[in-house]
A and B are shown apart, each in its own frame.
Chain A
Amino acid sequence: MASASATAPATSAPQPAGRGIDWFLTLALALVIGVSVRAIWYTPVDAMLGAAQKIFYMHVPSAIVGMYIACGLLAVCSLMYLWIRDERIDRLAESSAEVGLVFMGIVLVTGPVWARTSWGTWWVWEPRITFTLFLWLLVLGYLVLRGAVESIEARARLSAIMGSLAALLVPFIHLTVKLFRGMHPGPVVLKPEKPSMSGEMLSTFSMASVAFILLFFALLRLRYRWATLRDARVAQELA
């Protein structure tokens, strides 16, 4: 059942688009820059893979954010929208999908750069990489679908269905290293034994993960604000 809020865009007054400095975003960016400096200059070089292993500190946190957090939020918001039909939840799902797409893009481009030096090839059609590419294409399709449907209610409903289905791929991607024989290594940090990396490397990785999570939420907040302004403008034009 569609509520009135789903049939008319953003009737509530949008938050003022602050022209000042976004301190949350500034802090998140400063943390990402700081952790990059720490990773490049103050973290030990891997004995086998050399300096290229330091891509790990961007690649894995981007994967955590892009797949687990962004797609998880997309799934939760999509399911909640199908139940509650609140346009704000739809807007949050849309924002999470777009920001997640950026982080998954980082994963898909930095991965081959690292693979070139550690595996000797840019690309391998192995399960984890292939399914991550499929997930990226599905999220891209989700955003394309949103742009293609004019009816606000139909757009929100169809994209909520697609968003919740696309996110089903995430647990499958997580298990690919156990289900299939691929080239991706198994868990390095989260495993029953102690992590397979030194304390300094582990602390850099933890900091990078926190910095990327904060950056994700800062970008999500910015994207949500923009979507609110956009929907308010559309509502004014339709009125």
Chain B
Amino acid sequence: MRPMPGTWALAALQDTVAYVPKTSGPPDSSGYMWAGYAITAIAIGGYLVLMWRRMARERRAR
């Protein structure tokens, strides 16, 4: 049975990190997925920037 809106609001006020059971489907872990993809993008992007700076420095030195 779904809780009444008032009960829901009271529960949310009492515990802001309360877990809310889903009726079906896998758990929502999309935040972790985005974090994983962001880490990969930052690592590869960061290394490309490093290499671009290194190459630019070598070209200036020649």
Contacts and interface: CB of A to CB of B under 8 A. Distances in A.
A47 B32 contact: no
Interface in B20-54: 26-30, 32-33, 35-37, 39-40, 43-44, 47-48, 51, 54
Interface residues on A, range: 35 or more
A117 B51 contact: no
B59 A17 contact: yes
B interface majority secondary structure: helix
Residue among A55, A105, A219, A223 with the highest chain B CB neighbour number at 10 A = A55
A217 interface: no
A117 B39 contact: no
Contacts of A59: 36
Interface string A159-179: 000000000000000000000
A88 interface: no
A233 B58 contact: yes
Contacts of A110: 36, 39-40
Interface string A104-128: 0110011001101100000000000
Nearest to A110: B36
A226 interface: yes
A84 interface: no
Nearest to A33: B41
A45 interface: yes
A179 B2 CA distance: 48
Contacts of A51: 26, 28-30, 32-33
Contacts of B59: 17, 19, 229
B46 to A, nearest CB: 8
B56 to A, nearest CB: 9
23 contacts: A17-B55, A36-B37, A40-B37, A49-B26, A49-B29, A50-B29, A51-B28, A51-B32, A52-B30, A54-B33, A54-B36, A55-B32, A58-B36, A59-B36, A102-B43, A106-B40, A110-B39, A110-B40, A114-B32, A117-B27, A225-B55, A226-B58, A233-B62
Interface of B: 26-30, 32-33, 35-37, 39-40, 43-44, 47-48, 51, 54-55, 58-59, 61-62
